[in-house]
Structure 1
């Protein structure tokens, strides 16, 4: 299964969903997680006077993460979490090393 991760350094889950300008895409199978792609996105936490709720950005992020079962980040606000789940992507808050954390999350999905 594919899981997207917000990470500043590519080692740990250490970035807020709204600050991410890229998501690392991992294929998780059994006890292994392999980096298979990187998706660049527009930051959700950016002010737009014409679109204060930024739903268009959330939809664009969901499109970029199409095929992913979940997104994992260090923090996510309630509104973007609900929007991502409504768009078909479960959102999880976690920290620590990416690979072992994704293996654990995949076990409950």
Structure 2
């Protein structure tokens, strides 16, 4: 399975979907997680704060489409957080969303109840 991960460290799922300027792309087979590449994107949300998106931003199908084009070969996105509208739009395009905060090497067993 090919997945996209929002990470700033390359070790842990630690970034909000909307703030991601890149997605780390992994192939997951059984318990093996292999980094394939990092794909740059224009972040979906704009904010003055690096860690969180602007709460007043409006849903933009155009901006989301640009992100989707970069991750459309992925079956699932592992992300710290994602807004309801972008999540629904990605699900409608066949990409599952897994909110979590686990280490990337633990993704094969991730249930979303990470600490």
Instruction: Report the aligned-residue RMSD.
Output: 1.8
Q: Which runs of 4+ in 1 moved over 3 A?
A: none
Aligned length: 102
1:31 aligns with 2:31: yes
Mapped to 1, the partners of 2:83 and 2:59 lie a distance apart of 12
- Return the match for 2:68 from 35, 44, 62: 62
Q: What is the TM-score when the length of structure 1 is the normalising length? A: 0.86
Match of 1:85 in 2: 91
Name the CA distance, whole Å, in 1 between partners of 2:46 and 2:92: 21
1:6 corresponds to 2:6: yes
CA shift for structure 1 position 46: 2.2
Structure 2: unaligned runs, 5 residues or longer = 48-57
Q: Which runs of 5+ in 1 are unaligned?
A: none
CA distance in 2, matches of 1:85, 1:59: 13
CA contact (8 A) 1:4 1:72 kept: yes
Structure whose residues are more often strand by fraction:
1
Secondary structure of 2:23's match?
A: strand
Q: Distance in 2 between matches of 1:105 and 1:59?
A: 27
- CA drift at 1:89: 0.9
Structure-2 separation of matches of 1:53 and 1:16: 15
Instruction: Return the structure number with greater helix share.
Output: 1
Partner of 2:68: helix, strand, or coil?
A: helix
